[in-house]
Structure 1
Amino acid sequence: MRTIKQVSDLTGISVRMLHYYDKIGLLKPSSVTEAGYRLYGDNSLETLQQILFFKELDIPLKNMKEILESSQYDKVQMLHKQKELLSLKRDRLNELIALIEKKLKGGSAMSFKEFDMSEYFNVLETFKQEHENEVVKYYGSIEEFGKIIETMKSKELEGAKMAIKQFGSIEKYTEAIKNNLNNLPLIMDGFQTIKENADVYMAQTDQLMERLTSDLSKNHSSPDIQEIVKEMDDMVKGHSKIVKMDMGENYWGMMADLYLTKCTKVHDKKYGKGATKFIGEALKFYSENTK
């Protein structure tokens, strides 16, 4: 058994905070002496360890209590989840440390203000804390939603570039996510409609892709090719109306970049050598010449 002072010294958590944990029922001592001194055994210390992991992931105390008291709580499974989330956070911190080291060695003085996603992540964190029921309903748990946020943070620069490409600025992207979260039930209903008709939509997409790549010797900017891309645009706009999501002012420019720089050669295998590049160039031309 350890006294509250010993636990405080061991963990770095103040005695006052440990008193508060006891008050709200988050961490009860193993026993209390006749003189009123709190004593903590191994089980209490293991729970406190879980709390420390949650704190590193910015999980609110209220959510910690709900998780620890849940009938579905599994300590080992939770440790695996915490490890995964902390690993994502570690990777992000390592990237920042590497950037600092580069700066200290006289590296480029590039400004990242344009790519700052802080406000975007603040919107997600606020939603996580203020709309717990919706988070659990649509994402499974607070932890799973936190994992999504940490994953995006670990790829912040890449995500920022894509957001700017698709929406024009981080500010517009952030405003779009605010609107999406405010309409989350409607959006999720829309996704369910899309899912229920997935076979039909997939068949339509395949048909358009086959037409688009039927003759790769054509010029990607030719009227007949661009007419097919317009049909693809109309289909996506129809889907976005169903899910009630803002796709951004340059959705096809973003998609073109993916085909030209990120996509694998799956389309080459399916539609012929050079198909991936052809699709990307056709989408790029459409995005640059259609207002």
Structure 2
Amino acid sequence: MRTVKQVSSLTGVSVRTLQFYDEIGLFKPTEVTDAGYRLYDDASLEILQQILFFKELDFTLKEIKEIMDNSKFDKSEAFKKQRVFIEMKRDRLNGLLILLEKLEKGEHVMSFEKFDMDDYFKALDEFKKAYINEIVNKYGCTETFDEMVNELKSNESQLSQLAIKQYGSLEKFTEVSKKNLEKFLQINAEAVDVEESIKKTDYLTRKLTEDLSKDVYSEEIQNKVGELIDWCDESNNGLNLGENYWPLMVDNYLTNPIFINVNDKKYGEGASVFIGKVVKAYFS
């Protein structure tokens, strides 16, 4: 058993903060002695570690308490999701450090560096050669496929940045893209009603945002967002969108001005941030 001072020394969390966590019911001591001293065992320290991970991801103390008090809270699954979010945060910071290093040297960096997309476009070319008949059957000619590739090349810088954020690396993005293209060719176009899919996505989003004052952790809201996420996954017809797709979407809902503007206009002021918080809570 450790005293509050020993826990503070071990974790770097101040004694006053540990006392405050106890007062609000977030992190209770294992036991309190007759003299009023708080004592903590190893199991309680694991709880504190979990709390600190959530804090690193900018969750409020109220949000952390609600998550960890939830009977469905899965510590192992939480660690997996936290790792994804923290890796994204690390990658953004690493990018900033590289930029700062160049600026310190006096370099004039007016835009983001392009990443090498040669392997990806080579894979597209190989795919075209291997599936020429399927592409013609799907599009009617190869020119449509070529136009798509040329459009991607014209936005190479933005594509590479998005690919790394969403898939973790350009290598993984290239590998997954090959499989996605093969699956896409197998999808029966007549069986996919795009207009109906958009309508259902809109309907489920309106259900989710009909009352923006609702608690994002409530069972009602979490059931609604679960229905929306399941539908989005289903409507993608098994295509792999990358392990960071939903964390990236959360980031867009919360911070991307374009996302915020579009969603707030469509679903009400504050809807984008509300959706972001709800999805973030769902994957926590």
TM-score between both structures, scaled by the size of structure 1: 0.52
Whether the 8 Å contact between 2:201 and 2:232 is mirrored in structure 1 is: no
Measure how far apart 1:125 and its partner are: 1.6
Q: Tell me, yes or no, if the aligned pair for 1:117 and 1:156 is still in contact at 8 Å.
A: yes
> Which position in structure 2 is the counterpart of 1:119?
119
2:208 to 187, 208, 212: 212
- Name the CA shift for 1:209/1:117 in 2 (closer, same or farther; >3 Å): same
> Is the CA contact (8 Å cut-off) linking 2:166 and 2:243 kept in structure 1?
yes
Once the two structures are superposed, residues 258-289 of structure 1 have per-residue CA deviations (whole angstroms, 9 ceiling, x without a partner) of 434133634323321121232233334444x2
1:183-207 alpha-carbon deviations (Å, 9 max, x no partner) = 34323x1x532217x43x4453233
Seen in structure 2, the aligned counterparts of structure 1 residues 112 and 285 have a Cα distance that, compared at 3 Å, is farther
8 Å CA contact retained: 1:166, 1:248: yes
- How many angstroms does 1:162 deviate by? 2.0
Q: How far, CA to CA, are the matches of 1:217 and 1:186 in structure 2?
A: 43
Which residue of 1 is the match for residue 17 of structure 2? none
Larger radius of gyration: 1
Give the corresponding residue for 2:245: 251
Amino acid at match of 1:149: V
Matched, 1:273 2:274: no
CA distance in 2, matches of 1:269, 1:183: 35
For the 8 Å contact 2:184–2:239, the answer to whether it is kept is no
Structure with higher RCO (Cα < 8 A, 6+ apart):
2
Cα pair 1:221 1:282 within 8 Å, conserved:
yes
- Partner Cα distance (1:206, 1:184) in 2: 23
Find the counterpart in structure 2 of residue 192 from structure 1. 190
Q: Which residue pairs with 1:150 in the alignment? A: 150
- Do 2:167 and 2:242's aligned partners in 1 also have CA atoms closer than 8 Å? yes
Q: In structure 2, how many angstroms separate the alpha carbons of the residues matched to 1:110 and 1:280?
A: 28
* Matched-pair contact (CA < 8 Å) for 1:216–1:274: yes
* Cα shift at 1:174: 1.0
In 2, Cα distance between equivalents of 1:232 and 1:217: 19
Specify the SS of the correspondent of 1:244.
Answer: coil
What residue number does 1:83 align with? none
Listed as ranges, the matches of 1:234-249 within 5 Å are 234-240=230-236, 243-249=237-243
- State the aligned residue count: 179
- 1:161 aligned to 2:161? yes
Find the aligned partners of 1:121 and 1:140 in 2 and give their Cα distance: 22
Structure 2, unpaired ranges of 5+ = 1-101
Q: Supply the distance in 2 between the matched residues of 1:138 and 1:228 (Cα, whole angstroms).
A: 35
**Rounded Cα–Cα distance in structure 1 between residues aligned with 2:172 and 2:124:** 15
| 1:263 match: secondary structure | helix
Output the CA distance in 2 between the equivalents of 1:139 and 1:168. 31
CA RMSD, aligned part only? 3.2
Q: Which runs of 5+ in 1 are unaligned?
A: 1-101
- Cα distance in 1, alignment partners of residues 154 and 277 from structure 2: 29
Conservation of the 8 A alpha-carbon contact between 1:166 and 1:254: yes
**C-alpha separation between the residues in 2 aligned to 1:219 and 1:112?**
41
Classify 1:271/1:156 alpha carbon distance in 2 versus 1 (closer, same or farther; 3 Å).
Answer: same
Tell me how far 1:124 sits from its aligned partner.
Answer: 0.8
Matched to 2:121, the amino acid is: F
SS of match in other structure, 1:265: helix
Q: Distance in 2 between matches of 1:226 and 1:157?
A: 36
Q: Distance in 2 between matches of 1:116 and 1:281?
A: 34
Deviates more, 1:253-262 or 1:206-215: 253-262
Alignment partners' CA distance in 2, 1:203 and 1:143: 30
